[in-house]
Amino acid sequence: MKLVLLGAAGSGKGTLAKNIVKDFNLPQLSTGDILREIAKENSKLGETVASYQKEGKLVPDEITFEVLKNRLSKNDCLNGYILDGYPRTLNQAKLLAKITDIDAVISIELDLDEIVKRLVSRRNCPKCGEIDNTNHEGYNGLCRKCQTPLFQRDDDKPDAIKARLEVYKQNITPLINFYGDKVFVVSSAGSPEETYKPVKTFLEGLKNE
């Protein structure tokens, strides 16, 4: 199965993807993660990517599409994958359609105020990638899996969040229209389990088609 996950930053895309990975044995391809790795490199490309990411702006298509094509050519993608963070624009969807056919698109919906609340409190582990938030009892700034001090992504700060959500709002409707009846919409207002349940049922149906 070749899946696309659509959803604003902070809508729970990554968490949903992890659940799908577990049950359907598909690799999760997060362009945000891949580009963050490139941004750490000491190169012109790394510098360019970092400058866009820091401000919450989209990295140009020439770079992002090359990065994606390269990732899709790896062996673990032969039986399908979950695209998390690509496409983000209609143009990206059209580029993707030139190299592959997507089976289904899961679109996560969540109120923008709730998204901002989730993003400003989000913290990440630099070592194992675990994601936590500052809002729960017992939060102590350390990763609950490996005890490494957590950090806040530069683009989870208020100005960058605003920019990222603006980009998302502008692009989501054309994307949904482009994919038409391949789109399955789910709300992530409840718990991660509640979000995943209908998606799992939908994907099981798709797999058995």
Binding site for ligand AMP (CB under 6 A): 9, 31-32, 35, 52-53, 56-59, 64, 85-86, 88, 92, 155, 164
Residue number with CB closer to ligand AMP (94 or 147): 94
Amino acid at position 113, single letter? D
- Minimum separation from the CB atom of position 84 to ligand AMP (A): 7
Active site residue 88: yes
Instruction: Exactly one of 71, 118, 123, 164 is catalytic; name it.
Output: 164
Q: Residue 28's closest CA among 50, 54, 1, 55? A: 1
Six-digit token pair at 173? Answer: 């409707």
Structure token digits, residue 85: 């963070």
Q: Is 13 a catalytic residue?
A: yes
Which region holds residue 147: left if phi is over 0, alpha if psi is between -120 and 50, else beta?
left
Comparison of 37 and 111: residue with beta carbon closer to ligand AMP: 37
Annotation marks residue 122 as catalytic = yes
Nearer to ligand AMP, 59 or 110 (CB): 59
Cβ proximity to ligand AMP, 151 vs 205, nearer residue: 151
Count of C-beta atoms within a 10 Å radius of residue 50: 18
Instruction: Please tell me the distance from the alpha carbon of residue 159 to that of residue 173, in angstroms, as a whole number.
Output: 23
Instruction: Pick the catalytic residue from 2, 13, 57, 182.
Output: 13
Q: 131 is written with which tokens?
A: 């994601």
Task: Identify whether 118 is a catalytic site residue.
Answer: no
Q: Is 71 among the catalytic positions? A: no
Question: What amino acid positions are annotated as catalytic residues?
Answer: 13, 88, 122, 153, 164
